Amino acid sequence: MDKLTPDELMSLELYARERPAFRARVLEHKRHRKLAVGPNVTWSFEDRLTMQYQIQEMLRVERIFEPEGVRDELDTYNPLIPDGSNWKATLLIEFPDVSERQRQLARLIALEDRCWVQVQGHDKVYAIADEDLERENAEKTSSVHFLRFELTGPMIGALKSGAVLAAGVDHENYRHFVDPVPEPVRASLVADLN
């Protein structure tokens, strides 16, 4: 997928007018890019449209219109756009109660490294996590991580031919999987691949 450029972004004024329709379009698109893996983990798979929305929202909230500021936002979010041989996802570890969340984040250190996808007939592919910065310490992990799943040519070919996709987390304190990944999500993800 091509990265976003400044020319593809709406001005703040235009975005203010277009935002309701654009937001509705993106939220519908995201419905087929979310995957619940067990009761407390959600993966939101990113792509060009989800990142354009994220950048437009950041420009709007921060009132950024200077070229340098726009470039900074593009530099921050463009790396989350898949490259044609991978999927990139935001991992959310979700516990509504604050004290429970703190306790669980201490138990789930390195969970992000135990996330996997598996194309039918192929080995599991474990996520490469948090390439931008470290998001855990000795006491706890973060509730948000960024994952990249790098696929081989044969895996991509199998998916394009209809192979089933599974996904899961193999952490000693959190073992859940989805098999098969629902077809609307699988189809949306296959569209990211070259």
The 3-state DSSP class for residue 122 equals: coil
Residue 104 has a pLDDT of 96
Query: Would you give the DSSP letter of residue 141?
Result: B
From CA 55, how far away is CA 151, in angstroms rounded?
A: 27
Domain boundaries along the sequence of the chain: 1-31+48-81, 34-46+82-194
- Number of alpha carbons in the 13 Å side-chain half-sphere of residue 150: 2
Q: Which amino acid makes up residue 118?
A: Q
Give the global pTM. 0.90
Q: What's the topology of domain 34-46+82-194?
A: Immunoglobulin-like (2.60.40)
Instruction: State how far the Cα of 24 lies from the Cα of 12, in Å rounded to an integer.
Output: 18
Per-residue pLDDT tens digits for 147-161: 999 999 999 999 999
* pLDDT tens by residue, 115-141: 999 999 999 999 999 877 666 677 899
Helices (H), 32-143: 48-62, 67-77, 98-107
**In whole angstroms, how far apart are CA 170 and each of 38, 117, 177, 184?**
11, 11, 8, 24
